[in-house]
Structures are given as C-alpha cells and as structure tokens.
Amino acid sequence: DKMTLLLDWYVNPDHGPVIVAQELGYFEEAGLEVEIIAPADPSAPPKMVAAGKADLAISYQPQIHLQVAEGLPLKRVGTLIASPLNCLMVKDDGPIKTVADLKGRKVGYSVAGVEEALMVAILKKHGLTMDDIEMINVNWSLSPSVMSGQVDAVIGAYRNVELNQMEIEGVKGRCFFIEEEGTPTYDELIYVANPELMDTDRIARFLEATERATQYIINHPEESFRIYSGTAKELQDELNERAWFDTLPRFALRPAALDHRRYQRFEAFLKDAGLIDTIKPVSDIAIDVTAQ
Amino acid sequence: MAETPASAPGSALAPAPALRLSGDFRHAGRPLFSGLDLPVEAGRWTCLLGPSGVGKSTILRLFADLDTGGTFDGEISASDGARVAGRVAFMAQTDLLAPWLDVMGNVTLGSRLRGERVDRARARDLIARVGLADHVEKAPARLSGGMRQRVALARVLMEDRPIVLLDEPFAALDARTRAEMQDLAFDTLKDRTVLLVTHDPAEAVRLGHRIFILAETGLSEVEAPALEPVRPVEARETMDMQVRLFRALRGEPA
Amino acid sequence: MAETPASAPGSALAPAPALRLSGDFRHAGRPLFSGLDLPVEAGRWTCLLGPSGVGKSTILRLFADLDTGGTFDGEISASDGARVAGRVAFMAQTDLLAPWLDVMGNVTLGSRLRGERVDRARARDLIARVGLADHVEKAPARLSGGMRQRVALARVLMEDRPIVLLDEPFAALDARTRAEMQDLAFDTLKDRTVLLVTHDPAEAVRLGHRIFILAETGLSEVEAPALEPVRPVEARETMDMQVRLFRALRGEPA
Amino acid sequence: MSAGGAFPVEVTRLQRLRDAGLAAVVALLLWQAVVWVTGVPPFILPGPWRVAESLLANAGLIAENAWVTIAEVMIGLLLGAALGAATALHLMMSPLARRLVLPIMVFSQAVPVFALAPILTLWFGYGMASKIAMALLIIYFPVVSTFYDGLRRTDPGLLDLARTMGAPPSRTLLFLRLPAALPAFGSGLRLAAVYAPIGAVIGEWVGASKGLGYLMLLANGRAKTDLMFASLFVLALFAVVLYAAVSAFTRRMTRWASETTDGT
Amino acid sequence: MSAGGAFPVEVTRLQRLRDAGLAAVVALLLWQAVVWVTGVPPFILPGPWRVAESLLANAGLIAENAWVTIAEVMIGLLLGAALGAATALHLMMSPLARRLVLPIMVFSQAVPVFALAPILTLWFGYGMASKIAMALLIIYFPVVSTFYDGLRRTDPGLLDLARTMGAPPSRTLLFLRLPAALPAFGSGLRLAAVYAPIGAVIGEWVGASKGLGYLMLLANGRAKTDLMFASLFVLALFAVVLYAAVSAFTRRMTRWASETTDGT
Ligand SMILES: Nc1ncnc2c1ncn2[C@@H]1O[C@H](COP(=O)(O)OP(=O)(O)OP(=O)(O)O)[C@@H](O)[C@H]1O
Ligand SMILES: Nc1ncnc2c1ncn2[C@@H]1O[C@H](COP(=O)(O)OP(=O)(O)OP(=O)(O)O)[C@@H](O)[C@H]1O
Ligand SMILES: [Mg+2]
Ligand SMILES: [Mg+2]
C-alpha cells in the first residue's frame, strides 16, 4: 500500500525512526510503500494532510491543539518524539544565569504559535511577566541571533540540534528545559492525519514499523547512525552525528500509545493562555489508532 | 528588378470624390479659423499655401480624421456621400519612418498593416523611382534628410487611395530632385483627389489645378493658369502666375 | 517685454575665423566624397547646395565634430589655428526640440546646459522676433512644423558663437516668413562665420557671400553677384545669378 | 488626447473610480469562484466572505499593525527611489562605475534577500530600520535598472545638440537625459510601488514584533488562516492604492510623453 | 556608435570579458573588506576564502543541485516572458482587460509569493511544476508592466499613420507598437533574468528535495554557513550569466534603438 509522509522540515536526526524504518525495509515488510517529502515551512504539512494531499504529516503537539480549535480536520495518530525538545537557550558565558535574569531583556522566538504562552508560564514561575521582557520574532535565525547577541535568549530552539550547532560554531550555549521551568510537558513531534480520510490499519502498520526502527536505533546507536547518514551525503557531518546521539533518548518507544492526560493538560494550558476558546475532549484531538 | 508599372491599374480604384471642408476650428477656446469653406476638386490637385501656423496641417488632419488637439465645428464631406477618412493616403510634415524597418519595410508598411499581400515588385520600382534603389535595405538612421522624405513619399505613393493628402512632401529636397519627385507624384496620382500643402509658390504654380491661400483673415483663391499641370517653369503664364502668387502671399492685392 | 537688442555686443566675441575642410569621407568603405576642399570665409556667409544625399549634412557634422557614422580622412582647420568644434552653434536638419520644455525652455537650453546665467530678456526678444511671442509657454507638441523650426532658429541665434552651422534652417517656412527669418538671421549673425546648407537657390542667392555646389562629381563654386547680401530679390544681378545657379544645379554648364 | 479642461478630467476621475470599484467586485467574484471551483479547503484559501468577517472582527488589531507596515513602506519607497535614481545617474556619469558596479549590482540582486536577513538584522537590529532596508533593497534594482535603461535611450540628436552647445556630461545628464528618462523612471517607480510592501513584509518575517508581516506569521502559527488572509488583503489593498498614487504622480511628472491605448 | 565591422566587435567582447573579470575581483575584495571591517562573525557572513573552500569541497553536491535550479529557472523564464508578453499585448487590445485586469494584477502581485505557497503546492504538488510556477509568478509582473508601458509609448505620429492606412488595432499592435516597445520589453526581460532564480529558490524553500534553494536551507539548518554561501554564490553567478545572456539577446533584438553613454 502506498503512503505519503510529509516531514515537518528537512531530514534531521529527529526523523531517525522514519529514515531507519525505510532503509531497513520495515515499511516494506509491513506492506507499505512510503514516500517521504521534506518541506521548508513547518506549518504547511498539516494543512496538506488536512487537504488530503498526503496521508501523514509530522507536526507538533502544541500546534494540533490550535489547528483542531480552528476546525482543521486533523488528529494526532502517533508520537515521534515524546518529550519537549524546545528549550530556552542562552549563551553559556552570558549574563543570564537563571530565568529571572531575563528581566528587561530581549527574547527571540520563531514560530508565532504557542511560544508566547510558554514564555508566560516560564516567567511566572520566576516572578516575572511578559511586560518585563521584549519578545521578538526572529524567524529564520534562532541561533545566530543569540550567538551575535542581538537577543539575550531564544525560545523554540531544539536542545538536541541548536545547542550542538552553537558549540560547533564556537559559541557555547545553555538550555533552560522548559518543562522544568513551569510549562506542562508535551510530545514535541507527532504524526497527524485527516480523521475523515485516514486508513487506521495502514497507520497502525506504519507506526509498528517505526516502533521496530526505534528499538533498532536504541539497541544499535552507531550502526543506525551509519544507516541514517548513509541516505544523503549532506547528512554526514559533525552536527548530525552529535545531534543523533542527543536525540536517541527522546524517541517515543511506543509511537502508537496515547497519553490522554498530556493532551488534557495542554488543552487546559492553552485555554488559560487565551489561545483557544473552548476545551475539546481529547478524542477530538488525538486517537489511539490501535484501539479501533 | 521586375519592371512593373509604379501605378496600379486605375480601374481597380473607385473614382475619386470631390471634398469640402467648412466650419470653425478652435484651440482651447481660441479660434484658429472660422467660416472656412475649402473645396477640393475630384481627381485634381488642389494646393494650399499660407503662413506658418495658420492651420494648414490642421486641415489635412481634419480630412484624415486625426487628432488635432482642438475642436472642429463644421462639416467634412465627400461628393459621393461616403466618409472621407478611411480612403485617404496621408503624408505628414515629418517623415514618420519606423526606425526598426529598412527602406523596403517602411515603403511596404501599409500593406502589412492592412494584412494585404505585399507587392514587393511595385515597392522596389517605386523605391527606384525616388532614387533609392541602392538603399533598399538601409535603416532610416542611415539616410539623409531628403532621402528619408523620399522614403515617406514612396510609402504614400504605394497606398492605392482615391484621396491623397500631402503635407509639404518635397520640402527637404533640392530643386532638381524636387522637380523629379513632383513629376513622379503627379504621374502616379493621376485621377486622384490630391490636397497638397506647400510653402513653395513655384510648386503650387507647377502642380495646382486650383490654388488657395489660407491667411489669418481667411481663405482666398488665386486663379491658376489655363495650362494643364505639370506646367513648365519657363512658360509665360507660369511666370506671371508666380509673381501674382508671391504678391498674394505678401498680402498685396493680386 | 524688455527692449534689449537681439544680438549681444559683438565686442564680447572673439573674431570669427575662416574654416577649411579638406579630405575624403567614406561610409563602410564606400566613398561619399574624396579630394574635397571647402573653404569657409571668415565673418561671411557661405552657402552649400547639392542634391539630396550628397553629403552636405555630413560636412556640417564634421565641422561640429559630431558622429557621422563613417570615417573621415582629412583635415578640418580654422584660420586662427584653434579647434573648430567647441565654438560652433549648430542647427540640425530636424528641429530637435526637447518635448518636455516649452518654447522659452528650448530657446534657453544652451545657457542652462553650460551652467551660464539665462538671459531671459534676450530669449524673449528673439522669440518675439521669430514671431512666437504668443507661444512662449507652449510645448513643442502644440506647435506647427514651421513654428518648431523657428524655435530651433531662435535657439541657435541665442548661442553666441563665432561659427554658425545651419542645415536647411528655413525649409519648413512659407516664403514670407522665410524672408523675414533670413533677414533676422543675417542681422543677428553679423560678423560670424556662417556655413548654410540649403536647397533653395533663391536663398543662396539672397544670402551667400560665396556659393558652392556639392555634386557626386565634386565641389564647384558659382560666382556670387557683386552686390552685398542680403540682396533684393528683384535686382537684375540677383535674377541673373538665380538662373545661373539653377543651371549649375541641373548640371548644365554655368 | 482630447481638448482637455476642467470638466473632462473630472469625468475621467469618476470613471477611474468606477472602474476600480468594478475591478474590486470582479476580483472578489473571481476569488470566490476559485474557492468554489477548485474546492480548496478554507484552511488553505478561505473565501472572501470568511476573510471579510475576520477583517471586521480583527479590525483594530489589523489597523494597528498596518500602520507600522505602511510607515516602513513609505520610507523604504522614498529612500529606494532616491538611492536608485542616484545610482542610475552615477552609472551614466562614470564609465568605471558602469563597468564595475553594474555586474556587482546584478550579482548582489540575485541573492534572495532572505539569505541576507541575518546580516541585515545584525547591522540594522530588529527595529524599523531593517524593514526599511529590506523594502529599499527589493525596489532598488528595478528602479536603477529601468531608469538607467531610460537614461541610455536619450534621442542622439539632442545629445549632439548638447555637445555642440558645449555642455559638460553632468549637465547633459541633468537637463537632457534625466528629463527624457522620466517616463522610464516612472515605470520603475510603479514596479517599486508594488514591491515595496513585499519588501517590508519580508523584513518583518525576518524579525519583528509589529506590522502586517508579523501579524501574518502570528496568524499562520496559530492556524488562523482567515486572519492571515485578512492581513494579506489589507497589504494588497495598500499596494494597489500606492500603485495608483504613484501612477498618478508619474503621469503628472511626464505629461509631455504621450501615452496612447487602442480600441477605447 | 562607431563605424562597426568585425574587428571592433571582437575588441569590445574581449573588453567586456576583461571588465567582468575585474568586476568579480572587485566584488570579492569588497566582500572580504566588509567581513574585515564590520567584524561580522563567520556564522553570519563567512569571507570569500572560506566560501571558496566549501565550494571546492562540495563541488559535486552543489553542481548536482544547481542543475535542477537552472532547469527550473530557464523554463520559468521562458514561460513567464511569453505569458507576460501575451498579457501586455492583451491589455493593449482590450479596454475591458485594461480596466479590470490591471488593478487585479497589481492586487495579486502585491501578495508575497510565500503566502501563496501552500496553494501552489496544493495545486502543483511538490515537484518541479511548483518551482517553475513560482519563478514564473515572480517575473510575470515586471515583464507585463515594463512591456505594457512600452506599448503605450509608441510615437503618436506612427499611430496616426497606421490609422490613415486603415490598419486594424491588432495589426497596429503587431507591426508598430510591438516593435517600438521591444526596448522596454528588453528592460523587463533583464529584470526577469535577475529575479527568476530567486523565484525558483523560493519555490524550493516551500518544499523540495533538490536544488540550490533546498541546499541553502539545508546548510542553514545545519549551521553550515559556508555551504549556504557557496550555494548562494553559485546562484548569483548563474543570475549574472543569465543577465548577460539576456542583455546580449535584447541588445541584438533592438539594435535600431540607439543606446548611448557619457564620459566614455
Ligand atoms: N549613420 C550613417 N551610416 C551610414 N550611412 C550614412 C549615415 N548617415 C548618412 N549616411 C549616408 O551618407 C550620405 C550623405 O548623407 P547626408 O545626410 O550628409 O546628405 P545630405 O547631403 O545632407 O542630404 P539631404 O539634402 O537629403 O539632407 C547618404 O547617402 C546617407 O545614406
Ligand atoms: N495639439 C495642439 N494643441 C494646441 N494647439 C495646437 C496643437 N497643434 C497645433 N496647434 C496650433 O494650431 C495652429 C495651427 O497649426 P498647424 O500645424 O495646422 O499649422 P500649419 O499651417 O501647418 O503651419 P506650418 O506651415 O508651420 O506647418 C498653430 O498655431 C499651433 O500652435
Ligand atoms: Mg504644417
Ligand atoms: Mg542633410
């Protein structure tokens, strides 16, 4: 059976299980022929899936809440990375030692979705409000804007990628892990599908294949990196290698499993932040395809 | 070079009508002429002289139904009742050659603009007769002023129209070439209704069946000699006429 | 209107030199003229006539050091040894008015191009003398052909240069206006070295201290009458001269 | 070209307004038709009706952000036009500039402004300056290119005249080439009017906390496609108005250059 | 304008090549100077030397991706020029089109292509078609706008002539307005040559797995600023070559329209 998967972005270590499943033939063994497409704009893939242009897309848990609230025919059907990767990143040798030091400083962010809400929660824990800082959308240049000192911190950087990137560039960075600083925890990367068009059986087989791949990766980290980086010459570099090993512990071991509490909690969090108007039942947002 | 006649068979052409323009003309409220009544005889040459800026070109443009930048209040009619515009060939005071076309291209522009078959043989013959046989493929920028004017002349002669409006068509030519071109035009435009604006009294005397002078004070006719045009310059009557015309142009009584 | 004289005080001007052009000229290898030797007398009017396309405008452009599209092999010299180009005023065969400037703007273009003070009073006087006092603020597009030529004439007369090159400056004017403009130019350009290209033998006879005919076969001079220009048209000598000139232009022996 | 005067102009203006209104209606119908015919889902392209609702609901928010963008665009347009014109004039003046600057300019133009975003923000910060710089950058080349083309196409006869008149190149440029090239400059300005808003929005995408571009990103991030298209609509509307204004201005500037159309 | 002939042309061509080389050297020096003077860190703007190293090290990778982009650009440029020219001609022909299409076109142009990206990919998919569409879209308006401006500026005298000759508007358009507007069309085409590569790259940013735009984003995401600038360099180089080719072509097309420069 043919399936189309839209990544959230260009191939990077976050996509390890998908790439490895493809390379090791796990999809084939599950009777699937998966076409993988990489876009540059992370907001496009869910829309394309909602529009029926692809079967699955990789997206983010915070986004699915907003998208469902706006009426997009989408549901989370699986999990790729089961913890936040997002972090509040500062220069290691900079003046920001704790979040409280941000008072009166600039914070950059990239996707203008939920970052502000996350910041509100983080600041609140440290006795600050949004009025104490200046938020700037720096879109395409998260780490450069910190490295060059144009902003004092950025939210939306990935702890597994941007930290390594900064170190390779010679400017060491440091992360405040947001789930430790006051935000609810959530799944960073999820698979979404259009509930009206999806074939749960195929998706279940797809998730099973990625589950096998994840196990392989955990068991054979070095070998799996060779498989992953062997797919394209541009993946064979220091950043990919370092990010790969930082990403390993983050992969969801049970991609199909659904934690209702996480989705309830985050839905409530967004409602409190004023980003959504009504609280929807989890079943409107996420499903366990194996349960059907 | 094919030796086809420069003038197409006259039978193919509808008989040329007489024309008349009567009325007032004003530029932004300021009258240029008023109560004008200019007759143009069928199948003959009518010459129009007059001081610079008096409105001669404006009259030609009115006949051709072109924009004049002013308002005309009056009537333009043909003796056969049909519209005048649409069957005129017009040669303006400037040569108006298309800079991207060579001599041949400019001379045959009319046929191409109408989507007709291009009669290259006839064009080549006309180009030869205006003395530009060696320049058929030259662009206008590489021609002298008089040569450009002759291209424009060949172009208007290519047009097979019953009514022909010529605005100082020989002004840029030396005396000898001018006489040759006058002969050529008179020959080619046989039986056409021709209205010729000119500054050269000798030209009017040589070519005009009828000769009018437009002045600020109005239109007046100077009687042409009994001789048929093209008139020899040396003839007594022509000489006499020229003196009379000069006087009239100076505003002295004829 | 201020009543300043149209010609600036002659004392301010360096004495006009005599000029000479001698040599060969070719277009892409094809000779236009060769072995030419044209003298232009100091402070007087030299007229150049000849058939269309023979190279008259080319000669003017050579004197003015303008691009001719061909190669000149010879010498252009002034009697005082200084360069000719740089002290000529040039009126081309087409009027070359800037469409975005009105009459006043076009006439005073030279001063502005040189960054000199604009003598508006003198310009206004010249404009009045070419008969365009009522049109000072009109754009060229709203002028008749002859009016445009008179603007170009006023413009060249505004230039205070010892050498003046005129390429058929009166061709678009009626007989009467033409005579007036000839008088004006002759008056204004007193003591200047003037080279006038013309197609009108009467004009040459009226204005030329010396008269040359350029033909495909070479340059020849037609002796001018003893009378000083501007010569009356009716004088015996003028009439005689005109006949001789006509003959010469037709290629008959003078 | 008719006789002119006060009355006909009035009619023309009215007519133009009517045409603009008609065009707007046709555009909306077309938009609605595309939505219906292609069945594109509203979260990818909402219909005009939904966008209008969102426009009304968020009028205050949009207006507030629109002002910022409009200010950026106007300043960028003025600076870009001035700088572009100056460059074109300089290219005409100096053979060296012509031989060196022109290829470098093409080279630099061919770099997508996005790629330069981090550099621009590094130099200009995240304030208004970087957006103005972006708007300026995006219109600079069209202005230079069209104006320079116009400057080179002056009637050679007029240039000959200037030569005989003893004009230095700088004054020939100022008094002949420049006015003769104004219609071409007008072409460039009209292009600039259309592109300057895009430049400002891209500038905002690179980093901003205000403006229509920022609002678009925000709406996109919050999956509010209606709001995004409402912002887009306001942006495009502003561009149309700017284009009309620049057109009127350039037409006034070059009234002597006849413009004609057929089949009226 | 000199006498012309085979020899002088040869010299000019040689001279042009030399100038281009000189310009390249100056550009590189300028670049290095900016890096030194502003002290911009290499992760924001690497110097030419580092970029050259990366260019050599990744020559195969870059070449492979460059071909894809070049193909997209060429097709987009051809289609865009053809479509733009056809539109401009149509605008001249039909008063209705003039009154309705022109404002709509301005309106649609003022929408940043990015915003339309999801729509384009929905309709054209993630293949080459959407990139070509993007390149086409970005050059369409400059071509239409400049060409249309040129078409409207035909010598009114020639139009009068055509009228008396009994030419229908369509033939006047074809035989007078069109050739007279070729220099303006050339201006538009040269702009298009500079912008088509940007269009293709933007198309690739929206979604692609090949091409210089893809490579750039990839390099950017991987903190390989050197590789990103190497890709950018190749893209800009291609644009310069394309511009030179289009310039030569348009100059040949409009040889009759005199171009002059001062101070040579
Ligand atoms: N740019 C050019 N390239 C090639 N040939 C040219 C160029 N300009 C003029 N010619 C040729 O040079 C010759 C002389 O031209 P010129 O303008 O000097 O003639 P002229 O004597 O002034 O004629 P007229 O009385 O018609 O104005 C003509 O045969 C013309 O074809
Ligand atoms: N578009 C226009 N707008 C306003 N006035 C104009 C326009 N065109 C011509 N005129 C005026 O109309 C008058 C007559 O012009 P016209 O061209 O008919 O003169 P003409 O008799 O042909 O003169 P010439 O012998 O000098 O060619 C002139 O005074 C001129 O200023
Ligand atoms: Mg006239
Ligand atoms: Mg001449």
Atom of ligand 1 nearest to the CA of B174: 25
Distance from CA of E3 to the nearest CA of C (A): 6
Q: Does B163 touch chain E (CB under 8 A)?
A: no
Task: Encode pLDDT of A138-164 as tens digits.
Answer: 776 778 788 888 889 999 888 888 888
Q: Percent of chain B having pLDDT more than 90?
A: 72
D249: its two tokens: 């201005």
Task: Encode pLDDT of D49-87 as tens digits.
Answer: 999 999 999 999 999 999 999 999 999 999 999 999 999
Q: Does B126 touch chain E (CB under 8 A)?
A: no
Residues D17 and D107 in one domain: no
With contact defined as 3+ CB pairs under 8 Å, the chains touching C are B, D, E
**Structural domain range at position C230:** 41-87+161-249
Write a three-state SS string for chain A.
Answer: CEEEEECCCCCCHHHHHHHHHHHCCHHHHCCCEEEEECCCCCCHHHHHHHCCCCCEEEEEHHHHHHHHHCCCCCEEEEEEECCCCEEEEEECCCCCCCHHHHCCCEEEECCCCCHHHHHHHHHHHCCCCHHHCEEEECCCCHHHHHHCCCCCEEEEEECCCHHHHHHHCCCCEEEEEHHHCCCCCCCCEEEEECCCCCCHHHHHHHHHHHHHHHHHHHHCHHHHHHHHHCCCHHHCCHHHHHHHHHHHHHECCCCCCCCHHHHHHHHHHHHHCCCCCCCCCHHHCECCHHHC
Amino acid E203: pLDDT: 79
Q: Do D3 and B69 touch (CB under 8 A)?
A: yes
pLDDT at C4 over 80: no
With the C-alpha atoms ordered A148, A150, A154, A156, is the resulting torsion angle positive or negative? Answer: negative
Examine residue B20 and state whether it is found in any structural domain, yes or no: no
Helix (H) or strand (E) holding E231: helix E225-253
Integer angstrom CA distances of residue D243 from A203, A213, D239, E215: 51, 57, 6, 36
Examine residue B12 and state whether it is found in any structural domain, yes or no: no
Amino acid C8: pLDDT: 43
Examine residue B17 and state whether it is found in any structural domain, yes or no: no
Beta strands in B108-184 (DSSP E): 163-167
The residues placing their C-beta within 5 Å of ligand 3, an ion, are B 57, 93; C 144-145
Amino acid B21: pLDDT: 95
Residues C244 and C168 in one domain: yes
DSSP 8-state assignment for residue D208: B
C26 exposure class (CB count in 10 Å sphere: 0-12, 13-18, 19+): middle
Residues E227 and E113 in one domain: yes
Which of C119, C140, C160 is the C-terminal boundary of a domain? C160
pLDDT at B253 over 60: no
Contacts of D5 in chain B (CB under 8 A): 28
- Which residue ranges in chain E fall short of pLDDT 50? 1-11, 263-264
Q: Work out the angle at residue E87's Cα, subtended by the Cα atoms of residues E82 and E91, and round it to the nearest 5 degrees.
A: 150
Residues B74 and B165 in one domain: yes
User: Ligand 4 mean position to C220 CA, how many Å?
Assistant: 18
Contacts of D254 in chain C (CB under 8 A): 100
pLDDT at D235 over 70: yes
Residue of C25, C26, C47, C52 to mutate, testing the B interface (most B Cβ within 10 Å of its Cβ): C52
Residues C174 and C245 in one domain: yes
pLDDT at A29 over 90: yes
As a whole number of angstroms, the distance between CA A224 and CA A217 comes to 5
Report the number of distinct structural domains present in chain D: 2
User: Ligand 4 mean position to C56 CA, how many Å?
Assistant: 6
By C-alpha distance, which of A190, A130, A165, A167 is closest to A240?
A165
Contacts of B160 in chain E (CB under 8 A): none
As a whole number of angstroms, the distance between CA C47 and CA C40 comes to 9
With contact defined as 3+ CB pairs under 8 Å, the chains touching E are A, B, C, D
Q: For residue B60, give the chain E residue with the closest CA.
A: E164
Residues B121 and B221 in one domain: no
Residues E229 and E180 in one domain: yes
- Calculated CA dihedral for residues A222, A226, A228, A231, nearest 10 degrees: 180
Q: Does B158 touch chain E (CB under 8 A)?
A: no
Residues D169 and D141 in one domain: yes
Residues E212 and E230 in one domain: yes
Q: What is the residue with the minimal CA distance to atom 30 of ligand 1?
A: B143
Examine residue B25 and state whether it is found in any structural domain, yes or no: no
Residues C106 and C227 in one domain: no
As a whole number of angstroms, the distance between CA C168 and CA E244 comes to 43
Mean pLDDT score of chain B, rounded to an integer? 89
Amino acid A26: pLDDT: 94
Which of C66, C113, C139 is nearest residue D171 as measured by Cβ atoms?
C113
Contacts of D3 in chain B (CB under 8 A): 27-28, 69-71
Amino acid D43: pLDDT: 82
Which of E166, E167, E256 is nearest residue B100 as measured by Cβ atoms?
E256
Task: Encode pLDDT of C138-190 as tens digits.
Answer: 999 999 999 999 999 999 999 989 999 999 999 999 988 999 999 999 999 99
Q: What is the residue with the minimal CA distance to atom 8 of ligand 1?
A: B142
Where do we find the tokens 């008096």?
Answer: B54
With the C-alpha atoms ordered D203, D207, D213, D217, is the resulting torsion angle positive or negative? Answer: positive
Q: Do D207 and A145 touch (CB under 8 A)?
A: yes
Helix (H, G, I), strand (E, B) or coil at B22: strand
Mean pLDDT score of chain D, rounded to an integer? 84
Task: Encode pLDDT of B160-218 as tens digits.
Answer: 899 999 999 999 999 889 999 999 999 999 999 999 999 998 899 999 999 999 998 89
Q: Do D160 and C64 touch (CB under 8 A)?
A: yes
Per-residue confidence band for D214, with pLDDT thresholds at 50, 70 and 90? confident
Q: Percent of chain B having pLDDT more than 70?
A: 93
The closest ligand to the CA of C149 turns out to be 2
For β-strands B45-49 and B193-197, DSSP reports them as parallel
Q: What's the whole-number mean pLDDT along residues C191-195?
A: 95
Residues E100 and E215 in one domain: yes
Report the number of distinct structural domains present in chain C: 2
Residues B72 and B167 in one domain: yes
Contacts of C100 in chain D (CB under 8 A): 179-180, 182, 254, 256-257
Examine residue B177 and state whether it is found in any structural domain, yes or no: yes
As a whole number of angstroms, the distance between CA A281 and CA E189 comes to 57
Distance from CA of B176 to the nearest CA of C (A): 6
User: Ligand 1 mean position to C68 CA, how many Å?
Assistant: 8
Contacts of D264 in chain B (CB under 8 A): none
Distance from CA of E246 to the nearest CA of D (A): 12
Residues D50 and D18 in one domain: no
Residues C135 and C209 in one domain: no
Examine residue B21 and state whether it is found in any structural domain, yes or no: no
Q: Do C69 and E5 touch (CB under 8 A)?
A: no
As a whole number of angstroms, the distance between CA E88 and CA E97 comes to 10
For β-strands C71-78 and C19-27, DSSP reports them as antiparallel
Q: What's the whole-number mean pLDDT along residues C35-64?
A: 94
Task: Encode pLDDT of D21-41 as tens digits.
Answer: 787 788 888 888 988 888 888
Q: Do C52 and B177 touch (CB under 8 A)?
A: yes
Does ipTM come in above 0.90? no
Residues E9 and E72 in one domain: no
Amino acid D205: pLDDT: 80
pLDDT at C39 over 90: yes
Residues E133 and E219 in one domain: yes
Q: Do A147 and E215 touch (CB under 8 A)?
A: no
As a whole number of angstroms, the distance between CA D176 and CA D184 comes to 14
**Structural domain range at position D16:** 1-39
Q: Do A44 and E220 touch (CB under 8 A)?
A: no
E243: its two tokens: 């511009």
- Calculated CA dihedral for residues E160, E162, E167, E171, nearest 10 degrees: -120
Residues B212 and B111 in one domain: no
CATH number where C52 lies: 3.40.50.300
Which of A39, A169, A171 is nearest residue E206 as measured by Cβ atoms?
A39
pLDDT at C104 over 90: yes
Examine residue C185 and state whether it is found in any structural domain, yes or no: yes
Residues D103 and D136 in one domain: yes
Per-residue confidence band for D7, with pLDDT thresholds at 50, 70 and 90? very low
Residues D107 and D146 in one domain: yes
Mean pLDDT score of chain C, rounded to an integer? 89
Amino acid D194: pLDDT: 87
Examine residue B104 and state whether it is found in any structural domain, yes or no: yes
Residues B129 and B244 in one domain: no
Residues C153 and C185 in one domain: no
Task: Encode pLDDT of B1-54 as tens digits.
Answer: 343 444 444 445 678 999 999 999 999 888 999 999 999 999 999 999 999 999
Which of B141, B160, B179 is the C-terminal boundary of a domain? B160
Q: For residue E123, give the chain A residue with the closest CA.
A: A53
Residues E8 and E108 in one domain: no
User: Ligand 2 mean position to C176 CA, how many Å?
Assistant: 17
Amino acid E17: pLDDT: 74
Residues B236 and B183 in one domain: yes
Q: Does B28 touch chain D (CB under 8 A)?
A: yes
Please answer whether residues A83 and A250 qualify as being in contact, where contact means their C-beta atoms are separated by less than 8 angstroms: yes
Helix (H) or strand (E) holding E243: helix E225-253
Amino acid B11: pLDDT: 41
Q: Work out the angle at residue B167's Cα, subtended by the Cα atoms of residues B165 and B170, and round it to the nearest 5 degrees.
A: 115
Amino acid C143: pLDDT: 94
